[in-house]
């Protein structure tokens, strides 16, 4: 039984092809900014804004831990874990993905998933942002999509 468990764990580790994590420096800066804002709003007795700042600072702090938020590319699909999924792993199969694209935000550019028309993604899947250099991440994801979506068809 122990040997089977070890083999399963080894197979799972081998199947992770690439991992993407949020930028720790940006996460720490967000934590510090919102923690500072919460102190200022505490002094002004603005309780709703104070609670919002505390929540945002805790979110920034949680992003510093790599096992809480990530996007991992495997031969079976994309595994992601973040605040929206309540820190539970969810998997998106390669056969549900049509393509990837770069979307611009005020805070920069991120890679998003374009799903096949027949599949309506849930909120976490539809709003999944893949961190990293957008051009490099886009190329990596498209290469894996071509390689592994063809295997699903055969």
In 10 A of CB 89, how many CB atoms? Answer: 10
Nearest 5°: the CA angle 150, 151, 154 is 95
Q: Per-residue pLDDT tens for 10-63?
A: 444 447 666 666 766 766 776 777 777 777 777 777 777 777 777 777 777 776
Q: Kindly list the domain boundaries of the chain, sorted by start residue.
A: 26-62, 67-153
Tokens of 71: 């996007």
Q: Check: pTM over 0.85? Answer yes or no.
A: no
Q: Check residues 125 and 49 and name the one with the higher pLDDT.
A: 125
């Amino acid at each position: 039984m122990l040997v089977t468990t070890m083999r399963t764990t080894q197979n799972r580790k081998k199947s992770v092809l690439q991992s993407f994590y949020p930028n720790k420096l940006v996460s720490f800066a967000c934590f510090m900014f919102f923690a500072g804002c919460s102190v200022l709003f505490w002094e002004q007795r603005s309780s709703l804004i104070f609670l919002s700042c505390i929540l945002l600072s805790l979110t920034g702090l949680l992003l510093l831990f790599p096992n809480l938020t990530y996007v991992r590319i495997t031969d079976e699909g994309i595994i992601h874990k973040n605040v929206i999924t309540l820190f539970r792993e969810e998997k998106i199969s390669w056969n549900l993905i049509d393509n990837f694209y770069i979307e611009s935000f005020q805070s920069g550019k991120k890679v998003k998933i374009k799903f096949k028309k027949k599949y309506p993604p849930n909120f976490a899947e539809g709003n999944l942002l893949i961190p990293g250099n957008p051009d490099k991440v886009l190329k990596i994801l498209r290469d894996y999509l071509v390689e592994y979506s063809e295997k699903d068809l055969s």
